[in-house]
C-alpha cells in the first residue's frame, strides 16, 4: 500500500476500506460529471455493498446523498483529525465553505451574517473606490463609529456566551448539535396530493415511517400514512378540503388560512414536520401554542391545495413577522415565495408596525427576501413625486419603513446592496440609474400575482392581553423555538450612519462626482 504524506493528515490511500466517517475526498455528484469535495457523514453496509452518505462541502445540505464506492475518488483523502477538534463531526463544514474558491452556495452562517440588516461597516477603503457611494458611506460611517466607540458593540454582546467573539459558524448547527442522525435525510419520498416530492433534509417522523419507500400525506389535514391504501382509507373519513382555521384572504384561486397553533395543535405539528423536510435550520417544535400559521393554498374543484406557509409568533419582542417560511418544492420558482413574503408584510401593515423575518434565513429564503425588499423599495422610490417645480423627490428611511412595513435595518441594507446611496456635497442621495430602473421593470413584469390588500379580511389580535396569565410559559417555550438569540444579535447593528428622518433626495441619473 502506497502512502504519501502531504501534510499531517492528508494522505493518498488506495483503498476504500480505510475510509471512515469524517473523511473528505472528491465524490461524483449524482447525475453529473462533477467531483466536488465531500465529507463522509455515514457509512452503511447491506448485502456486502458499502454505501456512503456524503455532504458536498461547498454546497447546500439538500444535495447530500448516498453514493457507492465507484463515486469516490480515493486518490486523495483528507482524514479527520484524531484530536477531535477537526472535521470528524462535520461541524466545520460551513467554515470551509467560506474559504472555498468554487461556486459558492450561501451557508446558513453566511445567510445570517448578510441577511436582513446592515452588516458591520468594513474598514475604510483607501483607494479609488472612494468615488463609489457605498465606499464613501462606509468611510463616513467608520468615522462615526469611531466617535461612538462607547456604545455597546457586537463584541460585548457576544462575550456573554463565550470567550472568543468570532463570527458564528452556523446558527443551524447550534440547534442540531450536529447529531449524525439529524444530519442525514431519513425520508426517501413523500406523496402529497398529486405531487411526489423528494425531501431535502431530516425530519423526525416516527421510526416506523422512515424506512418506507414513500410516506403518504393527506394534503388537507397533513396526517401521514404508511401506504397508499392507508391513505385512501383515511381520505374516506377525512372531511377537510382546506386547511383548518379561518380563511382570511381570497383572490382568484389564492387563499390564505390563519391557523392558531394552540387550537389546531395536531395540524400545526404535522405542518412543522412536513416543513422540516425542506428547511434545514429549523428545530422541531412540538409546542406550537405561541405561533400562528398562515397557509397559502390554490383552489381547484378538488379543494384548497397547500402551496406554502409561514409561521409567526403571536407576540414577538423582536419585531419578527415571520418565524419559518416555505414554498413547497412543486410550487417553487413560480412567484409564490414572494407572495408569501408580501402577505407577511401586508399583515404587518394592518398591525401598523414594521417587521423582519427571524434569522438565520435559508439560502433560498435570503434570495427571495432580498429580491422582495429591492422590488418593494424601488417601487416606492420610483413612485415619488417632486414636492415643487424643479425639485427632486425626497423620502426618509422612516417613510420607506412606514410605507412598506419593512424594518429599517432591512431598508438600509437593501439600499446599500443595490448601491443606491451616494454622498454628494454634504448630502446622501438615492441614485436610480437607468440600469436599475430597467432591471426593476423587467423583474416586476414577472411578478404577475400580487397580494390585494382589499381581499384581506383580518383584524390583528392583541395577544399580549389574552396571554398575560401564561406569559412566563410562553416566553419559556418561544425561547426554545426561536433560533438562538445570539445569531440575531449579529444583525442587530444600529444604523447610525444616516439620520432616519433626514430626507434623501432621489435622483434619476447617475451623478457625476467630481473630486
Ligand atoms: Zn386528512
Return the pLDDT at 141.
40
Residue 230: pLDDT band with limits 50, 70, 90: very high
Gap from CA of 232 to ligand 1 centroid (Å): 10
**Residue that wins the pLDDT comparison between 142 and 498:** 498
Burial label for 152, CB within 10 Å (0-12, 13-18, 19+), is: exposed
Degrees to nearest 5, angle at CA 369 with 353 and 398: 35
Q: Is the pLDDT of residue 157 over 70?
A: no
CB count, 10 Å around CB of 246? 13
For 120-133, what is the mean pLDDT?
A: 35
Gap from CA of 229 to ligand 1 centroid (Å): 14
**Residue that wins the pLDDT comparison between 328 and 211:** 328
Gap from CA of 458 to ligand 1 centroid (Å): 26
Residues annotated as catalytic are 358
Gap from CA of 208 to ligand 1 centroid (Å): 19
Gap from CA of 231 to ligand 1 centroid (Å): 8
Gap from CA of 247 to ligand 1 centroid (Å): 18
pLDDT tens figures, 455-480:
999 999 888 765 444 444 443 333 22
For 119-139, what is the mean pLDDT?
A: 37
Return the pLDDT at 83.
64
Q: Is the pLDDT of residue 124 over 70?
A: no
Residue 81: pLDDT band with limits 50, 70, 90: confident
CA–CA distance, 98 with 104 (Å, rounded to integer)? 8
Return the pLDDT at 17.
85
Q: Is the pLDDT of residue 41 over 90?
A: yes
DSSP 8-class letter at 449: -
Residue 375: pLDDT band with limits 50, 70, 90: very high
86-90, 292-296, 406-410: which range is least confident on average? Answer: 86-90
Q: Is the pLDDT of residue 40 over 70?
A: yes
Percent of all residues in the chain with a pLDDT value above 90, rounded to a whole number: 57
- ω before 481 within 30° of 0 (cis)? no
Return the pLDDT at 62.
92
Q: Which cell numbers hold the place of 475?
A: 416566553
CA 384 to chain centre: 31
Percent of all residues in the chain with a pLDDT value above 70, rounded to a whole number: 70
Gap from CA of 123 to ligand 1 centroid (Å): 56
CA–CA distance, 297 with 300 (Å, rounded to integer)? 10
Gap from CA of 191 to ligand 1 centroid (Å): 13
Gap from CA of 512 to ligand 1 centroid (Å): 63
Contacts of 410 (CB under 8 A, 6+ apart): 116, 117, 356, 369, 373
Q: Where would I find the H helices in 277-312?
A: none
For 157-185, what is the mean pLDDT?
A: 45
Contacts of 391 (CB under 8 A, 6+ apart): none
The residues with which 217 forms a beta bridge, in sequence order, are: 192, 224
Residue 163: pLDDT band with limits 50, 70, 90: very low
For 119-129, what is the mean pLDDT?
A: 34
187-201, 248-262, 280-294: which range is least confident on average? Answer: 280-294
In the three-class reduction of DSSP (H, G, I as helix; E, B as strand; rest coil), residue 346 is classed as: helix
Do the bridges between strand 195-197 and strand 190-192 make them parallel or antiparallel, or are there none, so unpaired? Answer: antiparallel
Contact 509, 433 (CB under 8 A): yes
**C-alpha dist (Å) from residue 492 to 50, 360, 495:** 47, 12, 9
Burial label for 70, CB within 10 Å (0-12, 13-18, 19+), is: exposed
42-56, 325-339, 383-397: which range is least confident on average? Answer: 383-397
CB count, 10 Å around CB of 253? 13
CA 238 to chain centre: 33
Residue 153: pLDDT band with limits 50, 70, 90: very low
Contacts of 489 (CB under 8 A, 6+ apart): 154, 157, 158
Q: Where would I find the H helices in 384-462?
A: 397-404, 408-417, 434-445
Q: Is the pLDDT of residue 347 over 60?
A: yes
Tracing cell 421593470 back to the chain, one arrives at 441
Q: Which of 430, 418, 410 is nearest to 506 (CA)?
A: 430
The residues with which 42 forms a beta bridge, in sequence order, are: 53
CA–CA distance, 214 with 200 (Å, rounded to integer)? 14
CA–CA distance, 98 with 107 (Å, rounded to integer)? 8
For 434-462, what is the mean pLDDT?
A: 94
Q: Which of 86, 116, 187 is nearest to 359 (CA)?
A: 116
CA–CA distance, 225 with 215 (Å, rounded to integer)? 6
Neighbours of ion ligand 1 (CB under 5 A): 218, 220-221, 238
Radius of gyration of the chain (CA): 25
CA–CA distance, 252 with 379 (Å, rounded to integer)? 24
DSSP 8-class letter at 126: -
Q: Is the pLDDT of residue 180 over 60?
A: yes
From edge to edge, which strands make up the β-sheet containing 190-192? 195-197, 190-192, 215-217, 224-225
Termini Cα distance of the chain: 67
Residue 260: pLDDT band with limits 50, 70, 90: very high
Gap from CA of 240 to ligand 1 centroid (Å): 6
Return the pLDDT at 222.
97
Tracing cell 395540524 back to the chain, one arrives at 267
CA–CA distance, 300 with 298 (Å, rounded to integer)? 7
Q: Which cell numbers hold the place of 11?
A: 494522505
**Residue that wins the pLDDT comparison between 245 and 484:** 245
Gap from CA of 242 to ligand 1 centroid (Å): 10
Contact 23, 37 (CB under 8 A): no
**Residue that wins the pLDDT comparison between 362 and 455:** 455
CB-side neighbour CA atoms (13 Å) of 415: 31
Return the pLDDT at 181.
79
DSSP string of 272-302?
A: HHHHHTT-SS----S--TTEEEEEEEEEETT
For 3-10, what is the mean pLDDT?
A: 47
For 20-39, what is the mean pLDDT?
A: 95
Gap from CA of 238 to ligand 1 centroid (Å): 5
Gap from CA of 357 to ligand 1 centroid (Å): 30
Q: What is the mean pLDDT of the chain?
A: 76
Amino acid at each position: 500500500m502506497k502512502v504519501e504524506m502531504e501534510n499531517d493528515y492528508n494522505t493518498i490511500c488506495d483503498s476504500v476500506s480505510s475510509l471512515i466517517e469524517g473523511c473528505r475526498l472528491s465524490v461524483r455528484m449524482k447525475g453529473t460529471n462533477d467531483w466536488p469535495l465531500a465529507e463522509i457523514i455515514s457509512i452503511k453496509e447491506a448485502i456486502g455493498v458499502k454505501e456512503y452518505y456524503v455532504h458536498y462541502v461547498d454546497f447546500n445540505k439538500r444535495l447530500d446523498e448516498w453514493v457507492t464506492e465507484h463515486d469516490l475518488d480515493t486518490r486523495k483523502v483528507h482524514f479527520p483529525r484524531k484530536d477531535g477538534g477537526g472535521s470528524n463531526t462535520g461541524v466545520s463544514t460551513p467554515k470551509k465553505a467560506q474559504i472555498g474558491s468554487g461556486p459558492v452556495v450561501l451557508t446558513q452562517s453566511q445567510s445570517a451574517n448578510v441577511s436582513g440588516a446592515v452588516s458591520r461597516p468594513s474598514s475604510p477603503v483607501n483607494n479609488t473606490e472612494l468615488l463609489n457611494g457605498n465606499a464613501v458611506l462606509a468611510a463616513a460611517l467608520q468615522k462615526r463609529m469611531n466617535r461612538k466607540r462607547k456604545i455597546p458593540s457586537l463584541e460585548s454582546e457576544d462575550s456573554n456566551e463565550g470567550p472568543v467573539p468570532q463570527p458564528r459558524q452556523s446558527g443551524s448547527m447550534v440547534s442540531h448539535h450536529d447529531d449524525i442522525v439529524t444530519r442525514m435525510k431519513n425520508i426517501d419520498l413523500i406523496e402529497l396530493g398529486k405531487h411526489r416530492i423528494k425531501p431535502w433534509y431530516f425530519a423526525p417522523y416516527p421510526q416506523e415511517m422512515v424506512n418506507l419507500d414513500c410516506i403518504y400525506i393527506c394534503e388537507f389535514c397533513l396526517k401521514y400514512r404508511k401506504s397508499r391504501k392507508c391513505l385512501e382509507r383515511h381520505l374516506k373519513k377525512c372531511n377537510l378540503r382546506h386547511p383548518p382555521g379561518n380563511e382570511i384572504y381570497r383572490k382568484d384561486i389564492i387563499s390564505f388560512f390563519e391557523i392558531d397553533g394552540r387550537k389546531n395543535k395536531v395540524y400545526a405539528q404535522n405542518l412543522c414536520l412536513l416543513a422540516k423536510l425542506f428547511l434545514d435550520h429549523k428545530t422541531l417544535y412540538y409546542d406550537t401554542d405561541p405561533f400562528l400559521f398562515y397557509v397559502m393554498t390554490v383552489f381547484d374543484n378538488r379543494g384548497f391545495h397547500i402551496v406554502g406557509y409561514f409561521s409567526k409568533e403571536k407576540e414577538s419582542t423582536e419585531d419578527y413577522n415571520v418565524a419559518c417560511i416555505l414554498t413547497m418544492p412543486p410550487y417553487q420558482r413560480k412567484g409564490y415565495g414572494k407572495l408569501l413574503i408580501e402577505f407577511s408584510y401586508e399583515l404587518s401593515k394592518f398591525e401598523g408596525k414594521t417587521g423582519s423575518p427571524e434569522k438565520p434565513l435559508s439560502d433560498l429564503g435570503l434570495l427571495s427576501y432580498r429580491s422582495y425588499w429591492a422590488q418593494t423599495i424601488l417601487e416606492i422610490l420610483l413612485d415619488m413625486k417632486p414636492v415643487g417645480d424643479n425639485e427632486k423627490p425626497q423620502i426618509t428611511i422612516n417613510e420607506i419603513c412606514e410605507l412598506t412595513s419593512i424594518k429599517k435595518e432591512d431598508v438600509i441594507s437593501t439600499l446599500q446592496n443595490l448601491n443606491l446611496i451616494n454622498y454628494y456635497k454634504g448630502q446622501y442621495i438615492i441614485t436610480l440609474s437607468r440600469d436599475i430602473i430597467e432591471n426593476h421593470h423587467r423583474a416586476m413584469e414577472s411578478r404577475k400575482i400580487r397580494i390585494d390588500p382589499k381581499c384581506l379580511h383580518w383584524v390583528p389580535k392583541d395577544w399580549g392581553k389574552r396571554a398575560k396569565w401564561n406569559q412566563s410559559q410562553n416566553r419559556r417555550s418561544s425561547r426554545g423555538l426561536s433560533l438562538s438569540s445570539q445569531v440575531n444579535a449579529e444583525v442587530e447593528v444600529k444604523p447610525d450612519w444616516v439620520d432616519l428622518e433626514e430626507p434623501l433626495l432621489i435622483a434619476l441619473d447617475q451623478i457625476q462626482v467630481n473630486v
